[in-house]
Amino acid sequence: MENLMKPTPISKKFFTPGVIVLSIFAFIGIVFVILRLLFGLGAVTNLSNQYPWGIWIGIDVAAGVALAAGGFTTAALGHIMRKEEYHILVRPALLTAMLGYTFVALSVALDLGRYYYIWHPLIMWNGNSVLFEVGMCVMIYLFVLYIEFLPIVTERFIGRVNFPGFLKVLNNPVDKLLRLLDRTLNKVMFIFIIAGVVLSCLHQSSLGTLMVIAGPKMHPLWQTPILPLLFLLSAISVGFPMVIFESLITSRSFGLKPEMNLLSNLGSMVAPMLGIYLSFKIGDMVIRKTFIYLNEINTTSILFAIEVVIGIVVPLRIFLSPKLTKTPFGLFIGSALVIFGVLLNRINNFIVAYNPPYKFTPYFPSIGEIGVTLGFIALEVLLFRAFVMIFPIVSVPQYVTPQTKFTVRGA
Amino acid sequence: MANQSRRQFLKTTALIGAGITGISSKNLKAAPKNILDENRMGVLVDTTVCIGCRKCEWACKVAHNLPTPPIEAYDDRTVFKQMRRPDDKALTVVNEYPPKSSDEFPVDVKVQCMHCDHPACVSACIVGAFSKEENGSVIWDTNKCIGCRYCMVACPFQIPAFEFGKAFHPEIRKCDFCFNRTKEGKLPACVEICPMEALTYGKREELVKIAHEKIRLYPERYVNHVYGEYEVGGTSWLYLASRDFTELQFPKLGRNPAPGVTEAIQHGIFAYFVPPIALYALLGGVMWINKNRKKTSETE
Ligand code: SF4
Ligand code: SF4
Ligand code: SF4
């Protein structure tokens, strides 16, 4: 029985109870988006002159960018290191990155006081601004991601262009166009793949530089000049766990068998990266002597401790154990913890650590902010599901077996 | 031999590192040259003279077409019960700090943008909507701003305010040093109205001298500290006070310009695009080698 893995659109029913719950969340999110556009940021969010940035930046943007790191880490592994066996993981990761960054861009737009000026940085440059550089990198990378996704589109539709009715005349030209696109892309794709990895390294680290300018407004446990390095290392560490996590969930939800071999191998690569991240994080703490802040037990120090222990140390231990990385359960828990750790780290950096000298009411996200954040996540999951059902993204075993001969028709 | 090449490698890396830091520190100095114009202006605020009449608050609003109650309303001293901050509706506010003992006076402190010499907001703004003008003012351009509020995150004095209540075309608001008035040779509105001459407008260099002279002449009246002389690399607004500035809720800040670290990191990562291009070349090389390795192993 030959067992060839090939990306194929998955045919399943789109609407399941889970999908309906997600749709409700998405709907609520969209309602709040409309309210924000009609009545302004102040009407929907708890942002103030003391706390100019909230969870739309901390979670939707900062954590969103970090958690889309599966895209560039698998691209580096599959295409640059040329580990062919991992190719079946590249497409889902690419899709996640593409959707992730699209929603990052949407969240940024939503958070901008003047969203209709979002194109300004394209022509008004301030090279000293870290935000400018993050913005440019993310914008170009989003474009690169779309290009990287194009071959999947052409693969899906070449020879299958089938417009209804009078649009039929377009069938042939569009098919020709797709074929041309396919051929050119094939030759130049490596340029975009490398660019994608470089751009990711740049903006993942610059995202860390973003808060450095806040200076003493940021809690010393997080404020360090090596923030860019820590952000890059944590993004690299969370890349594979994200891929494992999604792969396990996707196979579960579509009733496929998880590719345990590959995922375990991927899992074994997580430990060294987490180890490096942890050592820099601890080293930085020792050098700057910030551990003294851990003596006082308060929300800040507890969140820092959770971030390091639950988000790095425990999963590190899990990924170091060959026994645990061989089981879907171990892999799942380990990955989930790393993801949780990086998510919490971004929240900590952008929200918890931000401690302005003059404050009146502490910041806590409003229902509207939480609604939009959950709504966007729900939309992303829904789109992911829709995409894997339309496009050849998830690899499923193609049984090329003589068994078909014996199947009874209609059974 | 291997040893030799490793040492060589270390040497080159060190050189590259030095190159990057060298470039970045040069970039730091190469910030717009008008930033440290010798003739830039400033205001010296003598908090021991201020009586908290809040006329400056009124004048500032009038000068900026902001809605304001009539000037008599400002005699109400109950507002001092709470600390207030400048916001989108008031570019400057006066706070009062009660005396510590019965033979002392309360201290009144006018708060507004400090017009830093190396402004964090200017460095941070994604589109360059903030600019440092030759006369020292830090001003904002409504035609550029996209409302990202990064300037607010960056400002060490927590000054820029945003119109959160507005859905369309919200603005960033802060004291603009009355740029439109000073351009025409007029005094800033708050300075002009101050009945006690608690505010002195003049060349920053001279103001620093005057401040130190005052401290020298009346050592029992002032603490020996001109706030703003060195804070975050110097600010256009300078303060004298009879008490330690931390008691008056001035933020305790170092002497380094706020944007210094980020700009160094930023320019280090991007120094003339060398690091990104080098990374690109490196990855391209790795990709190529791996491709060829695959080929040879396949033909074997
Ligand atoms: S006080 Fe704040 S807003 Fe004013 S110039 Fe300095 S950094 Fe900019
Ligand atoms: S809110 Fe406006 S002025 Fe402030 S950093 Fe953003 S674009 Fe610049
Ligand atoms: S200088 Fe002008 S803008 Fe600034 S506080 Fe005084 S009156 Fe207001």
In this prediction, residue B109 has a pLDDT band, given cuts at 50, 70 and 90, of: very high
Instruction: Using most ligand atoms within 8 A of CB, pick from B121, B150, B159, B173 the residue to mutate for ligand 2.
Output: B150
Cβ atoms of A335 and A245 within 8 Å: the answer is yes
What was the pLDDT predicted at B299? 56
Contacts of A400 (CB under 8 A, 6+ apart): A2, A4
Residue B151 in contact with ligand 2 by CB distance below 6 A: yes
**Residue A197: its pLDDT value, please?**
94
**Pair type for strands B172-173 and B161-162:** antiparallel
Determine contact, residues B149/A53, Cβ cutoff 8 Å: yes
Token digits of residue A356: 């302005």
Task: Specify the higher pLDDT residue, B298 or B176.
Answer: B176
Closest of A359, A347, A378 to residue A56, by C-alpha:
A347
Helix (H/G/I), strand (E/B), else coil: A47: coil
Ligand nearest the Cα atom of residue A124: 2
pLDDT, position A399 = 62
Split at pLDDT 50, 70, 90, the class of B265 is: confident
Give the Cβ contact number of residue B72 at 10 Å: 8
Residue B175 CB less than 6 A away from ligand 3: yes
Residue in B299, B277, B285 with CA at minimum distance from that of residue A81: B285
Q: Which amino acid is at B90?
A: A
- Predicted local confidence at residue B116, as pLDDT: 95
What pLDDT was estimated at residue B32? 46
Kindly state the tokens that stand for A10: 């998955």
Give the lowest-confidence range in A233-237, A318-322, B12-16, B208-212: B12-16
Task: Specify the pTM.
Answer: 0.89
- Per cent of chain B over pLDDT 90 is 69
Which residue is it, tokens 């399943």? A12
> Which amino acid, residue B112?
Q
Instruction: Extract the tokens encoding A379.
Output: 């939309």
Pairs across A and B, CB distance < 8 A: 181
| pLDDT at A400 (0 to 100) | 55
Supply the DSSP symbol for B229: S
Contact with chain B for residue A249, Cβ under 8 A: no
User: How many whole angstroms from A296 Cα to the centroid of ligand 2?
Assistant: 36
Question: From the CB of B129, is ligand 2 less than 6 Å away?
Answer: yes
Q: Is residue B78 classed exposed, middle or buried when 0-12, 13-18 and 19+ CB atoms within 10 A define those classes?
A: exposed
pLDDT for B216 equals 96
Q: What is the pLDDT of residue A278?
A: 97
Measure CB to CB from residue A42 to each of B164, B270, B287 and give the nearest one: B164
Distance from residue B169's CA to the centre of ligand 2 (Å): 12
- What's the CA gap between B193 and A410, in Å, rounded? 94
pLDDT band at B153 (very low <50, low <70, confident <90, very high): very high
Judge contact between B119 and B104, C-beta under 8 A. no
Higher pLDDT, A59 or B272: A59
Contacts of A123 (CB under 8 A, 6+ apart): none
Residue B296 in this model has a pLDDT that exceeds 50: yes
Do residues A316 and A341 touch, judged by C-beta distance below 8 A? no
Helices (H), ranges, A161-211: 171-209
Contact predicate B293/A203, CB 8 Å? no
Pairing mode of beta strands B138-140, B130-132: antiparallel
Average predicted confidence (pLDDT) for chain B: 86
pLDDT value at position B298? Answer: 57
d(CA A127, CA B104): 50
Q: Is B239 in the pocket of ligand 2 (CB under 6 A)?
A: no
Q: Which residue would you say has higher pLDDT here, A274 or B22? A: A274
Confidence of residue B90 (pLDDT cuts 50, 70, 90): very high
Residue of chain A whose Cα is closest to the Cα of B285: A80
pLDDT computed for residue A13 by the predictor: 83
Sign (positive or negative) of CA dihedral A234, A237, A239, A244:
negative
pLDDT for B35 equals 55
Q: Note the pLDDT of residue A3.
A: 57
What is the predicted pLDDT for the residue at A344? 97
Hey, which bits of B76-203 come out as E strands? 93-97, 107-111, 130-132, 138-140, 161-162, 172-173, 199-203
In the Cβ-directed half-sphere of A285, how many Cα atoms lie within 13 Å? Answer: 17
**Closest chain A CA to residue B271:** A127
* pLDDT of res. B260: 77
Q: Collect the ranges in chain A with pLDDT lower than 70.
A: 1-4, 399-411
